[in-house]
A = this chain, B = another copy of it.
Amino acid sequence: MVWKKEVRRVRDRQAAWIGSRLYQEGLITANFGNLSYRHGEGFYIKRKGEYLDPLGDLVFVPLDGEVPADASWEWIVHRAIYCETPHQAIIHAHPVHAIAISFGVDEVLPQDCEGELVCPRIPVVTGASGSTELAQNVAAALADAPVVIVRGHGTFAAASTLEGAYVATSAVEHACRILLLLKGIQNR
């Protein structure tokens, strides 16, 4: 048990550091976005209305059964991902270029080296916020890809660590920003 507490302390510290990076890089603004990591028979997730930077206390959500009222209202997506994939950590962000490019397409193919390495094919899925449909679509997409864009909404990145999910989130926005700049050059 002491060991489990120590694991949580380390992960919380990492979560706080990554929350701050997401904010500094403009991948989230205000109190939007959330993150979670697997722990025991469930996962720790941001609370409703709390910030990723500075990161508020996380709340435990079991993989099955009742969910605390103050868990981020996107807990349903996080739970579906943990139930249906082996991922251990999830970051949900609202990066503007990834959101803008997602309208009218079903996938995004990076042309930059970093994007080709980290997220060579970025699926775009749909579904109302907080719906089971969205949860299923995101979880299914993350079985094959490290990061998915929910059309007009934002990104969900999943990995074995929060750091992996952060790197994928940063890479997808970087790739989409370059693609939008390229559209500007090529179509003129």
Contact A103 B111 (CB under 8 A): yes
Contact A153 B114 (CB under 8 A): yes
Q: Whole-angstrom distance from the CB of A91 to the nearest CB of chain B?
A: 11
Question: A1-9, A62-70, A180-188: which lies at the B interface?
Answer: A180-188
Contact A170 B30 (CB under 8 A): yes
Q: Is A94 located at the chain interface by the 8 A CB criterion?
A: yes
Contacts of A80 in B (CB 8 A): none
Contact A181 B96 (CB under 8 A): yes
Residue on B with the closest CB to A116? B152
Q: Binary interface profile of A, 133-175, with partner B (CB < 8 Å = 1, else 0)? A: 0000000000000000010111000000000001100110110
Chain A contacts with B in 80-120, Cβ cutoff 8 A: 94, 96-97, 99-101, 103, 111-114, 117
**Alpha-carbon distance between A185 and B26 when the two chains are bound, in angstroms:** 21
Residue on B with the closest CB to A17? B54
> What are 10 A-B contacts defined by CB distance under 8 Å?
A25-B30, A30-B170, A96-B174, A101-B181, A103-B182, A103-B185, A112-B153, A114-B154, A180-B185, A187-B188
Q: Is A14 located at the chain interface by the 8 A CB criterion?
A: no
Greatest chain B CB density within 10 A among A152, A177, A188 is at: A152
**Alpha-carbon distance between A24 and B166 when the two chains are bound, in angstroms:** 17
Q: Is A21 located at the chain interface by the 8 A CB criterion?
A: yes
